Amino acid sequence: MRKSRYTDSQILAILKQNENGVPVPELCREHGMSS
């Protein structure tokens, strides 16, 4: 299995940002990932 580019804590931080109302496309752009 391929190793993830992001650590678990980074993923949780990104998900928390989304819960706080940051739109998914903006998060993807900010972190350099595809939606």
What was the pLDDT predicted at 18? Answer: 95
In 1-35, where does DSSP find H-type helix? Answer: 8-19, 24-31
Cα separation, 35 vs 33, in Å, equals 7
pTM of the predicted structure, to 2 decimals: 0.72
What was the pLDDT predicted at 35? Answer: 80
Summarize pLDDT for 1-35 with one digit per residue, the tens: 778 888 999 999 999 999 999 999 999 999 898 88
What was the pLDDT predicted at 33? Answer: 87
Residues sharing a CB contact under 8 Å with residue 35, sequence separation 6 or more, in sequence order: 24, 25, 28
Residues sharing a CB contact under 8 Å with residue 7, sequence separation 6 or more, in sequence order: none
